[in-house]
A and B are shown apart, each in its own frame.
Chain A
Amino acid sequence: MPASIPELQQRLAEQRYVCDRGLAVSLFIALKLGRPLFLEGEAGVGKTALAAATAAALDTDLIRLQCYEGLDISHAVYEWDYPRQLLELRLLEAGGALDRGTAHKALYGDAFLLKRPLLQAIDPARTRPAVLLIDEIDRADEEFEGYLLELLAEFQVTIPEIGTVRATTRPLVILTSNRTREVHDALKRRCLYQWLEYPSFEKELAIVRVRVPEASAQLATQVTALAQELRTQDLYKVPGVSETIDWVSALVALGHDRVDEQGIGETLGVVLKAREDVDALRGGRVTELLARAAARAAGSA
Chain B
Amino acid sequence: MNAPPGDALLARLLGFGRALRRLGLDVHTGRMLDVVEALSCIDIARRDDVFHVCRALLVHRHEDLEAFDRAFDAFWSPAAEAEPRSASEPGDAPGKKPASQGPEPMGLLETQTDAAGAAGEEDSLDVPAWSDLEALATKDFAEFSESELAAARDAIERLEWQPGVRRTRRWVSGRGSRLDLRRALARSVRTGGDMVRLPRRVRRLRPRPIVLLCDVSGSMEVYARLLVHFAYALTRRHRRVEAFLFSTRLTRITRELRASRIDDAVRAVSKAVPDWSGGTRIGASLQEFHRRWGRRALARGPVALLVSDGWDRGEPAVLAAAVSRLQRSCHRLIWLNPLIGTQDYQPLTRGLVAALPHVDEFLPARSLRDIAQLARILGGVGREGREGRVGRVGGEGRVG
With beta carbons under 8 angstroms apart, the residue of A26, A195, A234 that contacts B287 is A234
A40: chain B residues at CB < 8 Å are 62
Query: Across the interface, do B37 and A189 meet the contact criterion of CB distance under 8 Å?
Result: no
Does residue A236 face the partner (Cβ distance < 8 Å to B)? Answer: yes
B56: chain A residues at CB < 8 Å are 25-26, 29, 37, 192-194
Query: Across the interface, do B38 and A191 meet the contact criterion of CB distance under 8 Å?
Result: no
Once A90-B193, A276-B321 are accepted as A-B contacts, the answer to whether A25 and B181 lie under 8 Å apart by CB is: no
Please list 16 pairs of residues, one from A and one from B, whose beta carbons are closer than 8 Å in the complex, sorted by A's number: A5-B42, A29-B56, A70-B171, A71-B169, A72-B170, A82-B182, A89-B188, A141-B168, A179-B62, A180-B296, A189-B31, A192-B56, A192-B57, A193-B61, A236-B290, A236-B294
Scan A178-214; emit 1 where CB is below 8 A from any B CB, else 0: 1111000100110111110000000000000000000
With beta carbons under 8 angstroms apart, the residue of A32, A38, A72, A276 that contacts B171 is A72
With beta carbons under 8 angstroms apart, the residue of B59, B60, B295 that contacts A180 is B295
Interface residues of A (CB under 8 A from B): 5, 21-22, 25-26, 28-29, 32-33, 35, 37-38, 40, 68-72, 74, 79-80, 82, 85-86, 89-90, 92-93, 98, 100, 103-104, 107, 141, 143, 178-181, 185, 188-189, 191-195, 234-236, 276
A93: chain B residues at CB < 8 Å are 193
Does residue B18 face the partner (Cβ distance < 8 Å to A)? Answer: no
Query: Across the interface, do B42 and A29 meet the contact criterion of CB distance under 8 Å?
Result: yes
Q: Name which of B52, B57, B181, B300 has the most chain A CB atoms within 10 A of its CB.
A: B52
Q: Is the interface of B mostly helix, strand, loop or mixed?
A: helix
A189: chain B residues at CB < 8 Å are 26, 31, 60
Does residue B299 face the partner (Cβ distance < 8 Å to A)? Answer: yes
A92: chain B residues at CB < 8 Å are 193
Does residue B49 face the partner (Cβ distance < 8 Å to A)? Answer: yes
Does residue B85 face the partner (Cβ distance < 8 Å to A)? Answer: no
10 new A-B contacts at CB < 8 Å, known A25-B52, A98-B193: A29-B38, A33-B34, A33-B41, A38-B60, A70-B169, A107-B189, A141-B168, A179-B62, A194-B56, A195-B62
A90: chain B residues at CB < 8 Å are 193
Scan B42-82; emit 1 where CB is below 8 A from any A CB, else 0: 10000011001101110111100100000000000000000
Query: Across the interface, do B299 and A181 meet the contact criterion of CB distance under 8 Å?
Result: yes
Query: Across the interface, do B169 and A82 meet the contact criterion of CB distance under 8 Å?
Result: no
- In Å, the complex CA distance between A178 and B321 comes to 25
Query: Across the interface, do A32 and B38 meet the contact criterion of CB distance under 8 Å?
Result: yes
Query: Across the interface, do A21 and B52 meet the contact criterion of CB distance under 8 Å?
Result: yes
Query: Across the interface, do B65 and A22 meet the contact criterion of CB distance under 8 Å?
Result: no
CB distance from B196 to the nearest CB of A (A): 14
CB distance from A116 to the nearest CB of B (A): 14
With beta carbons under 8 angstroms apart, the residue of B48, B59, B185 that contacts A21 is B48
- In Å, the complex CA distance between A188 and B53 comes to 15
A178: chain B residues at CB < 8 Å are 295
Query: Across the interface, do A69 and B295 meet the contact criterion of CB distance under 8 Å?
Result: no
How many A-B Cβ pairs are below 8 Å? 113
Query: Across the interface, do A89 and B49 meet the contact criterion of CB distance under 8 Å?
Result: no
CB distance from A245 to the nearest CB of B (A): 21
CB distance from B356 to the nearest CB of A (A): 20
Does residue B325 face the partner (Cβ distance < 8 Å to A)? Answer: yes
With beta carbons under 8 angstroms apart, the residue of A22, A107, A188 that contacts B61 is A188
User: Which 8 pairs show the lowest CB-CB distances between chains A and B?
Assistant: A70-B169, A188-B60, A25-B52, A82-B181, A192-B56, A26-B56, A193-B60, A32-B41
Does residue B291 face the partner (Cβ distance < 8 Å to A)? Answer: yes
Does residue B192 face the partner (Cβ distance < 8 Å to A)? Answer: yes
A181: chain B residues at CB < 8 Å are 296, 299
Once A104-B189, A188-B60 are accepted as A-B contacts, the answer to whether A180 and B299 lie under 8 Å apart by CB is: yes
B287: chain A residues at CB < 8 Å are 234
Q: Which residue of B lies closest to A37 (CB)?
A: B56
Query: Across the interface, do B170 and A141 meet the contact criterion of CB distance under 8 Å?
Result: yes
Query: Across the interface, do A235 and B291 meet the contact criterion of CB distance under 8 Å?
Result: yes
Once A22-B52, A69-B168, A194-B56 are accepted as A-B contacts, the answer to whether A86 and B294 lie under 8 Å apart by CB is: no
- In Å, the complex CA distance between A280 and B349 comes to 26
Query: Across the interface, do B189 and A103 meet the contact criterion of CB distance under 8 Å?
Result: yes
Scan B169-198; emit 1 where CB is below 8 A from any A CB, else 0: 111000000000110110011001100000
- In Å, the complex CA distance between A250 and B56 comes to 36
With beta carbons under 8 angstroms apart, the residue of A85, A100, A191, A195 that contacts B65 is A195
- In Å, the complex CA distance between A178 and B290 comes to 15
- In Å, the complex CA distance between A250 and B291 comes to 26
B59: chain A residues at CB < 8 Å are 193
